[in-house]
Structure formats: C-alpha cells, structure tokens
Amino acid sequence: MQKSDHAMDKSTHDDVPDSVLITPTAPIANHTHGGRAKCLQRLVRLDLPVPTTVALSFEAVHAIANGGMPDLAAIVGCFAPDALLCVRPSSEDPDWGGPGAILNIGMNDARYVELCQSLGREAAAALYLRFVQSYAVHVARLDPDAFDDVEDNGPDALSEVLSAYEAETDEPFPQDPAEQLAAVLRSMARAWEGTSARLLRQAKGAPADAGLGLVVQEMVPGYGQGECGSGVLQLVNPGTGMPQITGRYLSQSQGRDALGAGTEALYLERDARGPSLEESAPEAFADLKAHASLMRRRLREEMQVEFVIQSGGVHILDGVRVTRTAQAAVRIAVALAEDGIIPREEAVMRVDPRLSAEVLHRPGVPDAQGRGNGGGIAARPGAATGRLVFTAAEAQASAARGEPCILVRRETSPEDVRGMHAAVGVLTERGGMTSHAAVIGRGLGLPCIVGASNMKFDTRRKQLTAVDGRVFVRGDIITIDGSSGAVLAGQPEMLEAAEDGAFQTLLTWADDQRDIGIRANADTPEDAETARKFNAQGIGLCRTEHMFFEPGRLTVMREMIFAETSKGRAAVLARLLPMQRDDFQALFRIMEGLPVCIRLFDPPLHEFLPTSKTGQRELSEALGIPVSDVTRRVEEMEEYNPMLGLRGVRLGVTVPEIYDMQARAIFEATLDASKEGEPVVPEIMIPLVSAKREVELVKARIDAVALAVKAERGEDFTYRLGVMVETPRAALRAGEISPHTAFLSFGTNDLTQMTYGMSRDDAGRFMSAYVNQGVFPEDPFHVLDTDGVGELLKLGVQRGRAEHPDLTLSICGEHGGNPESIAFCREAGFDYVSCSPFRVPVARLAAAQLAISSQIGDSRKKSAKL
C-alpha cells in the first residue's frame, strides 16, 4: 500500500496509488499514470501556473471499466468546493490516443444560476451547454444529431439541449457533480477498452494490454470579465521545424476552440494577417512565451502549450509534444542540440532513420493541384508513384516483385495495414485527416490522400475513374501527391529533394558515432554523384553488365558472344574496351580516390541473346551470317535455368577474354584517373564463386593483365581482388577462399535465393501467401533472414577471418540499407555495408544509432558491475 502523503486511495498495486494529487514529488510515472500525467507533474515542478490536477493510474482506470470506482470523495476533496472539473486521457505514449476530454463537469442548474451572476448569462450557458452536449454524446451515448445542431451558444440553446436530453433518456440531466464525474470516468475507461480503440492504438504500435490513465483537472473557465479565453501555442512551425510562434487564441472560449474558430481567433505574435494576442494582451503573451521556452529547455522537447487566460492571468493546462513532419523532426532535434539542451548523440537517436528518408525524397509535384486527374484530402505529405493495386494482398505481391505500388481502397481497415506497409502510397475514397488510412499512413510515413470522392472507385472491377472520365485499371501507373491532395496519371516530373542543412548536420554527428562503413551500390556516373552527395564512403558494388545493355553496345556484345574463334572474340572485345575504360574513368573521377569496387561481368549470356526476329535479323546483318544460323545458335545457347547456368565466374573460367578485357579497362582507367587526381586503388570483384579453384584461375589471369598494363605503360598501380560470396558453398568454404582474396563481399540477393532454393524473380507469386500464413516472418528478399542466410554469413565471416585476419568483409545485396540488417552485420563484424545511393543517409543514421545504443548498453553494464 502506498505510504506517500499524496496517495488518497487504497492502492491495488504495490506502490502505485489509484489516484494521486499531482505535486512535484507525487509517485507518478509514464508507465503507471501515462504521459500526460507525467508531463503535468514536470510542469508543476517548473512552478508553472498549472490548475490543481489529480492523476488516476492505469490500474484504477482498468478497475473502473470493470465496474469499480476509486474514492470519489477523496478526488473531489482535492478541488475547491465549487470547482468545475475536466477529465483528459493519459496513455503511456500520447500517440496512442485515447477518448476525448470532457470539460465542465459539475455544471448543473444551481451552478448555472451562480455563474450567471459571476460570469454572465451567455458565458454560464456556454459552459453548461458544452458539458451537456459532450455528456449526452460521449457518456450517455445519445444520437449526436439531436445535440450538435443548436443555433447558438446561448441560454436558448441550453434549454433546447436539456429538453432533448430529457426526451431521449426520460430522465432529467444528472445534477449531482459526483454522479457526473463517476459517469464520465466510467465512459472514458470503457471507451479505451473497446475493440475499435484497441485496434487503432495497436496499429500505432501500442501493446494489446496498453493501459490508460486519466487526469482530473480543475477548470479555468476561459469566460468572464477582463481578458478571458483559451488557445494553443508552440514555438516552431510543425511543417518545417523552423522557429515560429504558431497557434491561435480565442476570447471567451475553452479547450481547442481557438483552432477551429476561423477569423475570429487571434494570431499569437504580431501578424500582418490580422489582430494578435501580443497586441491585445502583451503581458499575458510575454508570460506565455516565457513559459513555452522554459518548457522547451527543461522538458528538452518542442511542446505545444494548451493555455487559458483568465482575467488577464495565464494558466497552463497541458503540454504535448509538437506533432511534426519528418523534416521538422530533424530540424527540431538539431536545434535542441545546437542550443545545448540535448547532447548531439541524443539528437541522432531522436530521428527515425526510415522517416528521415522522406527529408531527402521528392517532396512533391510542382503545381500539382492544377494538374490533377482527381484528388482529395492531403493526409500525409510527399509524393509517390506506383502501379495501382486494389487489395492489400496485391500490394504485398507487388512489393515482393520489387514494383512500387499505390494501394487504392474505399477506406482502409486494420486488415489493410500489411498492404499499406508494402505500398509506397495510399489513396482512399472515404475518410478524413483522422481516418484509419490517414493515421496509419502518417505513422508509416506513407504519402496518403483520403476522401478522394471526386473520383469513382470501383474496387470490384478494380478500376478508378478520374474527374475527366479517364479510367485507370490495376497495374496503371499513377502518382499521388500527399502534399496537395492531387492524383496524377503516370509519373510527372518531381521537385528535386530539398537540400536540408539540418539533416546534413545530423548526419555529420551520426558519422562521428558510427562504427561500420557505408558505401553505395552505383553503376552509373549519376549513381556515383548521388553516392557522393550523400557522403557514401565509396562504391561497394558496380554492376558492370548494366553498361552492356546500353543501346549501341548490345549488338557489339552479341557479336562477341557469337564469335566463333578466340581471335574473332578478341576483335570485338577490343571495340568494347575503350567504352568500358571510359565508364570506369568516369566513376573514378567522381569518387576522387574513394574505393570503387567493380564486379566483373555476372549475368547469364543467355540474357543477351536476341529473342525477337528483328533482333536476330540485326545480328545477322552485323555478323554477315544468315538469320537461320543466328536462330540456330540462339537455340543452342538457351539455358533451362540461366540463373544457375553459365554466369558469373563460370564465364570467367570458360570465356576468359571477357574478364581480361574488363581488367584491362579497369587498370588503364586507374592509371589515367590517378594522373588527374587522387590515386585510385581499384577493387575487382569476382561474382558467383563456389570453389577456390575458380578464384585461382581468374586471379592468375587478372594478375597477368596487370603486369602487361604496367609493362606497356611503364607505370605502377595497386589493386585489390575480392570474391563475392553469394553461393552457400562459397560461404562454407570461405576458409580456403579467403587467403586468395583481399575481401569478401556477401551478395545476399543470390545467397538468399540459393539458400532457400527460391527464385528471386518468381517468389513474388507466393510470397504474400507465405508471409500471411506465417511461413516466413517477412519477405527474406527485403529483410535479411538472420536465422538461415545469417548463419551462412556468420560461418563465412568466421572461416574467412580465421585464415585471413585482415580480410575486409561487407554485404552488397539489397539488405545493405535495411536498419535491422545493418545491426546484424555490425554484430557479425562486417567492415561496411553497401546499399542503393538513396538509402545511404538512412543507413548512416541507423548505423550511428546502433553504435550509440551499444555504447549506452556498455556503460549500463559497467555501472551495474560497479
């Protein structure tokens, strides 16, 4: 049982009182009384003018929902005898929501008469009316239509709703304040335990048994003589995070009335758009500003302040964390650290790496509003382009194929959440800013448009009709701009990502903490430029085959494949050599001495064969042989299972001239680029190795090419040769392979494919069934399978390092940019991960957070030992 002075009631828990007056020392914690109660205690500790408040614990509220009731007399006894009260929810994490606040509890006919004297009839009626309306709808659960539709806020409206209440319930409106309070507490406790509230908060990450606390607070009316009213204030712009006093104030009002009041509400700071609180009540405004900055400093967070001014004096009712966009979250964290309020490490920890990607990504479509084919409510900013899908299952299948998709639903329900995870954007016909789709979309950081009722949604026939009658069907590409609410056909040009100084600062701080390298997978000069822009520490994978698919090169490549003799092949390769040399030189130039890891030719030759008649005719012309010969050769070279056929190092062993040419191009480009700038040490990587002997054979030829180039040019250079581990056998035999290589880079795409025996290109067909039935927790091509593939990685690392302690280790599959996979690689002792250039910032931030978390863990362990 609680022994504290503040405990007013018998405890149902060891040391948590059921209800407690909020004082500086009262036993209140987030996990027992919720975030609002804890925040109010902090405000009380700061000596801010907070009205008397009592906090009810999770246990107490749970008991109320089940028919219990704490000692109401003790609670009411904390307040002045004639005080009006309000009750607000206090969940552990404010983002989990809770039932709406109920104000003015204690209003009854007698108080009305008294308040008519002290505050005036209009004010007294407004207070009573608000209470009757919210009690009728939220506590007595009567039809809102009968109570919301009143003409004004005055005495006539009041008698109208009191009569409506009596008509609906056959009872007069309850007059006993204790009875009113009990009914309010009961209805709020039960609302929290209801199924829809539970599903909604679970979708926001709350555990199934999350508790609700309640706070009972003395009302400051916001009505009366002198300057009276209510409002909210925050010190930053919620969209950008830039310093800017935002909010509104409304005279003679309560709660959040000011925000919905339109032009009647005052700006806070002096504003060219209209009158302001600063002008009408300068002292109150100055006090408020001072309170808000004290809260920022001491609560170490940007807070939105809910306040009331009563006869000129300021009262702080509540403080909640300012809701913010990803961009604002970054600015706010950086500014708090720059002002010395939080350490830099904490700023780094405060930004969700996944959401941070938004800061860099295309913020929207220029002028979208005017160009849309339809649209609705812009529920979550950012633009996204993808193929139309109409069910969650289709969205998952599309993601498994690696095809971005926009999920279109009439409205979403919890069953759609998986599909929303898989989609790049969500579009719904129904709903508003707080509908399921909007709430979840914001939670997931997904561009989202809801309530697009000017478009026709036919989910049965899987089509969407635009305002101009144009029909989009499943698979069509559309763009949604969640910043303007516009839906556009195809993929319009996007605004370039904003250069965000704060984000760059945050990433610099992240780099100071990070203990695993981050490189980018980059095949083209554009990719390399992006990699540089995001401060990748080099290129971890350059897939050279993409260079051969370029127009103009494909036919030359085909000529090489069709060459009958080594001499003939050499002649064609001599034409490809300068093209490749230019490719590599461009990359070296851009990377300015940073490591560039070039993977030798990997894909099955099969992929280069002309399958169409036109392609075969073009090739017959280039080669000067009959089309029928080309067709016959194509048939001969076709493979049953090309991904397991003549590809990767197998080409290097059987058609070694291709790798010879590539090695020569790399070395010549190395010498040329080193003359112009920083010395280049190229890394050459052999793909799809499964046996030591393959490495020996290829290494011998590459070394020979290096010697030849050095001799011809009379210049020296160094290079590093490495092996790509993407077959299970290479991982198992890493011990015998590693002495022949400078590095091992794990290609987790192929390694996943071969470990599961599951085609990367076909798995999409059954992946959603597998994930839905819990066969796989996630698609292993997206999230590294740390159990199976991970075990192979660990074996490869241990066996490789045991025989070659200086071996450099990395991964370069798609998993490299995924925060969970980075955690695995860091633990396993990898030197770096390599991911797509746009994921580099996310990876830098995620890696820094892992390093900081482990430092915190280490220091906790140390202090536990002391």
683 is an interface residue for ligand PEP by CB under 6 A: no
Check whether 141 is labelled as a binding-site residue.
no
Stretch in the footprint of ligand PEP (CB under 6 A) among 155-163, 249-257, 745-753, 775-783? 745-753
535 vs 749, beta carbon nearer ligand PEP: 749
List the one residue out of 327, 50, 65 whose CA is nearest residue 190.
65
Give the C-alpha separation, 364 to 382, whole Å. Answer: 5
598 is an interface residue for ligand PEP by CB under 6 A: no
Stretch in the footprint of ligand PEP (CB under 6 A) among 187-195, 523-531, 658-666, 746-754? 746-754
168 vs 403, beta carbon nearer ligand PEP: 403
Catalytic site includes residue 812 = yes
The dihedral sign for the CA sequence 661, 663, 669, 675: negative
Stretch in the footprint of ligand PEP (CB under 6 A) among 369-377, 649-657, 666-674, 748-756? 748-756
| Partner in contact with 306, chosen from ligand PEP, Mg ion, none, beta carbon below 5 to 8 Å by kind | none
**Selected binder of ligand PEP within 812, 825, 833, 852 (CB under 6 A):** 812
Catalytic position from the list 6, 33, 138, 436: 436
Q: Are 743 and 722 in contact (CB under 8 A)?
A: yes
Catalytic position from the list 39, 78, 228, 812: 812
Going edge to edge, which strands form the sheet with 53-56? 19-21, 53-56, 212-218, 85-91, 102-105
User: What ranges in 385-480 are assigned the alpha helix state H?
Assistant: 392-400, 417-422, 436-444
Give the C-alpha separation, 532 to 535, whole Å. Answer: 5
Phi-psi region of 402 (alpha: psi -120 to 50; beta: other; left: phi over 0): left
| Partner in contact with 541, chosen from ligand PEP, Mg ion, none, beta carbon below 5 to 8 Å by kind | ligand PEP
Q: Are 443 and 432 in contact (CB under 8 A)?
A: no
Beta bridge partners of 271: 274
| Partner in contact with 812, chosen from ligand PEP, Mg ion, none, beta carbon below 5 to 8 Å by kind | ligand PEP
300 vs 546, beta carbon nearer ligand PEP: 546
134 is an interface residue for ligand PEP by CB under 6 A: no
Check whether 750 is labelled as a binding-site residue.
yes
Catalytic site includes residue 33 = no
Stretch in the footprint of ligand PEP (CB under 6 A) among 113-121, 285-293, 319-327, 744-752? 744-752
Check whether 231 is labelled as a binding-site residue.
no
| Partner in contact with 813, chosen from Mg ion, ligand PEP, none, beta carbon below 5 to 8 Å by kind | ligand PEP
Give the C-alpha separation, 264 to 251, whole Å. Answer: 9
* Residue number of the CB atom closest to Mg ion: 750
Smallest distance from the beta carbon of 350 to Mg ion, in angstroms?
A: 37
449 vs 689, beta carbon nearer ligand PEP: 689
Give the C-alpha separation, 162 to 167, whole Å. Answer: 9
Q: Are 209 and 203 in contact (CB under 8 A)?
A: no
816 is an interface residue for Mg ion by CB under 5 A: no
726 vs 785, beta carbon nearer ligand PEP: 726
814 is an interface residue for Mg ion by CB under 5 A: no
Contacts of 177 (CB under 8 A, 6+ apart): 76, 85, 105, 106, 108
326 vs 541, beta carbon nearer ligand PEP: 541
Beta bridge partners of 809: 744
Helix axes 657-676, 692-713, angle to 10 degrees: 50
785 is an interface residue for ligand PEP by CB under 6 A: no
Check whether 785 is labelled as a binding-site residue.
no
Contacts of 143 (CB under 8 A, 6+ apart): 168
The binding track of 720-739 with respect to Mg ion, each residue x by CB under 5 A or -, is ------x-------------
Stretch in the footprint of Mg ion (CB under 5 A) among 360-368, 508-516, 677-685, 750-758? 750-758
Strand segments, DSSP code E, in 650-758 are: 683-686, 720-725, 743-746
18 vs 726, beta carbon nearer Mg ion: 726
Check whether 599 is labelled as a binding-site residue.
yes
Check whether 592 is labelled as a binding-site residue.
no
Kindly state the DSSP code that residue 314 receives in the 8-state scheme. E
| Partner in contact with 748, chosen from ligand PEP, Mg ion, none, beta carbon below 5 to 8 Å by kind | ligand PEP
What tokens were used for 44? 């009380």
Stretch in the footprint of ligand PEP (CB under 6 A) among 126-134, 296-304, 743-751, 820-828? 743-751
246 vs 749, beta carbon nearer ligand PEP: 749
Smallest distance from the beta carbon of 581 to ligand PEP, in angstroms?
A: 22
Q: Are 302 and 273 in contact (CB under 8 A)?
A: no
Strand segments, DSSP code E, in 322-376 are: 374-375
Give the C-alpha separation, 673 to 592, whole Å. Answer: 9
List the one residue out of 512, 518, 515, 513 whose CA is nearest residue 832.
518
What is the residue-wise DSSP string for 836-860?
Answer: -GGGHHHHHHHHHHHHHHHHHHHHH
| Partner in contact with 4, chosen from ligand PEP, Mg ion, none, beta carbon below 5 to 8 Å by kind | none
Residues numbered 254 to 293 that lie near ligand PEP (CB under 6 A) are: none
Kindly state the DSSP code that residue 276 receives in the 8-state scheme. B
817 is an interface residue for ligand PEP by CB under 6 A: no
Contacts of 443 (CB under 8 A, 6+ apart): 95, 203, 204, 205
Check whether 241 is labelled as a binding-site residue.
no
| Partner in contact with 318, chosen from ligand PEP, Mg ion, none, beta carbon below 5 to 8 Å by kind | none
747 vs 817, beta carbon nearer Mg ion: 747
Backbone angles phi, psi at 211, to 5 degrees: -95, 160
Residues numbered 499 to 558 that lie near ligand PEP (CB under 6 A) are: 541, 543
813 is an interface residue for ligand PEP by CB under 6 A: yes
726 is an interface residue for ligand PEP by CB under 6 A: yes
The dihedral sign for the CA sequence 450, 451, 456, 457: positive
Backbone angles phi, psi at 84, to 5 degrees: -90, 150
750 is an interface residue for Mg ion by CB under 5 A: yes
Stretch in the footprint of ligand PEP (CB under 6 A) among 422-430, 496-504, 527-535, 741-749? 741-749
358 vs 726, beta carbon nearer ligand PEP: 726
Smallest distance from the beta carbon of 693 to ligand PEP, in angstroms?
A: 21
748 is an interface residue for ligand PEP by CB under 6 A: yes
**Selected binder of ligand PEP within 375, 445, 447, 747 (CB under 6 A):** 747
Give the C-alpha separation, 419 to 416, whole Å. Answer: 5
What tokens were used for 48? 């801010």
Give the C-alpha separation, 498 to 510, whole Å. Answer: 20
CA angle 545, 546, 551 (to 5 degrees): 115
Torsion of CA 54, 59, 64, 70, to 10 degrees: -50
265 vs 721, beta carbon nearer Mg ion: 721
- The footprint of ligand PEP on this chain (CB under 6 A) covers a number of residues equal to 10
Strand 832-835 and strand 517-521: pairing? Answer: parallel
Q: Hey, what amino acid is at 818?
A: N
| Partner in contact with 583, chosen from Mg ion, ligand PEP, none, beta carbon below 5 to 8 Å by kind | none
747 is an interface residue for Mg ion by CB under 5 A: yes
Kindly state the DSSP code that residue 496 receives in the 8-state scheme. P
Give the C-alpha separation, 25 to 136, whole Å. Answer: 37
Give the C-alpha separation, 31 to 672, whole Å. Answer: 64
Backbone angles phi, psi at 707, to 5 degrees: -60, -40
Stretch in the footprint of Mg ion (CB under 5 A) among 7-15, 218-226, 749-757, 828-836? 749-757
**Selected binder of ligand PEP within 227, 750, 779, 785 (CB under 6 A):** 750
Smallest distance from the beta carbon of 722 to Mg ion, in angstroms?
A: 14
* Residues that are catalytic: 436, 812
Binding site for Mg ion (CB under 5 A): 726, 747, 750
Binding site for ligand PEP (CB under 6 A): 541, 543, 602, 726, 747-750, 812-813
The binding site for substrate comprises 543, 599, 726, 747-750
The binding site comprises 543, 599, 726, 747-750
The binding site for Mg(2+) comprises 726, 750
